[in-house]
């Protein structure tokens, strides 16, 4: 089993000369690539998220300089599809991932030596991946915990039935986005699920008003996440959305509520009083003090 860089310590890629921002960019771009390949392969959501988890974990032990990230990405998908009981043929996977990476290029000749070499390289990377993760292929996915959170929020009347479908879809999308970061290596899946439920509530502007203390307390009791963990996850997530026009109100609201770290506020230019797209209802964005 490979050794993993502890949180806060330089990763193998950083020790090989990559800056933290360069590594973060490669992680995000390649996680997005895995997601797009999963869609093209028509894989269910779960194996795609598992593949992204493998990818993040692999590069906590190995360097981008030593391992081609696209071959590793294909290996992660190939292994995850088998683990999650949605196997994909290696030839189809290589051809599909190649088309996603080079959409304007002619299809790969599956009889060519180059195609055979790529398939071989994916198998080599799969073995390297298994070694890096210590052959521990089981992944506890936050999506399953999120589905349970939705049921609990609905049961305690913190989530209206009319909003359930949209809430569930948005939350699962946020969970998918979280795999473009290394949150899966930093936080327990239950905490990620709760934080994504909270972010979805704020995005949909469905936080109960301050006057409805009972409903607010039920919601936060159901989410069952500390302020420290929630703030850490929110701070990591908003960095994905700085150029997304649809998420600017979400970012401002999280900043106004005090759920973003000071360094994130400075990066976003939101240090000090945060401007808002509109004035919220009285107490709408204030988390109640614990009883």
Domain, as residue range, for 189: 142-268
Q: Is residue 278 part of a domain?
A: no
| Whether residue 107 sits in one domain with residue 83 | yes
Confidence check: pLDDT of 279 > 70: no
Domain boundary among 84, 116, 133: 133
Confidence check: pLDDT of 1 > 60: no
pLDDT score, position 7: 62
- In the chain, the number of structural domains is 2
Q: What CATH number does the domain containing 216 carry?
A: 1.10.472
pLDDT score, position 270: 79
Q: Is residue 120 part of a domain?
A: yes
Span 152-159, mean pLDDT? Answer: 92
Question: What's the per-residue H, E or C state across the chain?
Answer: CCCCCCCCCCCHHHHCCCCHHHHHHHHHHHHHHHHHHHHHCCCCHHHHHHHHHHHHHHHHHCCCCCCCHHHHHHHHHHHHHHHCCCCCCHHHHHHHHHHHHCCCCCCCCCCCHHHHHHHHHHHHHHHHHHHHCCCCCCCCCHHHHHHHHHHHHHHCCCCCHHHHHHHHHHHHHHHHHHCCCCHHHHCCHHHHHHHHHHHHHHHCCCCCCCCCHHHHHHHHHHHCCCHHHHHHHHHHHHCCCCCCHHHHHHHHHHHHHCCCCHHHHHHHCCCCCCCCCCCCCCCCCCCCCCC
Q: Is residue 93 part of a domain?
A: yes
pLDDT score, position 45: 94
| Whether residue 219 sits in one domain with residue 120 | no
Q: Is residue 101 part of a domain?
A: yes
Q: Is residue 277 part of a domain?
A: no
Q: Is residue 152 part of a domain?
A: yes
Q: What is the mean pLDDT of the chain?
A: 90
Q: Note the pTM of the prediction, 2 decimals.
A: 0.86
User: pLDDT per residue over 39-82, tens digit each?
Assistant: 999 999 999 999 999 999 999 999 999 999 999 999 999 999 99
């Amino acid at each position: 089993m490979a050794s993993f860089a502890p949180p806060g310590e330089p990763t193998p890629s950083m020790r090989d000369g990559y800056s933290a921002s360069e590594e973060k960019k490669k992680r995000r771009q390649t996680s997005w690539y895995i997601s797009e390949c999963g869609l093209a392969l028509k894989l269910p959501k779960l194996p795609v998220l598992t593949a992204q988890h493998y990818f993040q974990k692999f590069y906590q032990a190995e360097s981008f300089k030593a391992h081609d990230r696209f071959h590793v990405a294909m290996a992660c998908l190939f292994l995850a599809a088998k683990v999650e009981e949605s196997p994909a043929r290696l030839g189809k996977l290589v051809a599909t991932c190649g088309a996603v990476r080079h959409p304007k290029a002619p299809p790969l000749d599956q009889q060519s030596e180059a195609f055979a070499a790529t398939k071989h390289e994916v198998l080599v990377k799969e073995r390297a991946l298994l070694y890096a993760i210590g052959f521990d292929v089981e992944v506890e996915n936050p999506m399953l915990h999120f589905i349970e959170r939705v049921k609990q929020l609905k049961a305690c009347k913190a989530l209206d039935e009319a909003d359930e479908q949209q809430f569930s879809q948005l939350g699962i999308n946020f969970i998918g986005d979280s795999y473009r970061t290394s949150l899966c290596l930093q936080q327990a899946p239950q905490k990620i699920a709760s934080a994504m439920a909270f972010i979805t509530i704020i995005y949909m502007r469905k936080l109960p008003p301050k006057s409805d203390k009972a409903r607010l307390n039920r919601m936060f009791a159901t989410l069952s996440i500390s302020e420290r963990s929630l703030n850490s996850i929110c701070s990591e997530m908003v960095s994905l959305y700085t150029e997304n026009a649809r998420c600017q109100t979400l970012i401002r609201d999280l900043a106004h509520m005090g759920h973003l770290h000071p360094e994130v506020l400075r990066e976003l230019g939101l240090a000090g009083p945060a401007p808002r797209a509109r004035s919220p209802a009285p107490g709408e964005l204030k988390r109640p003090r614990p009883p």
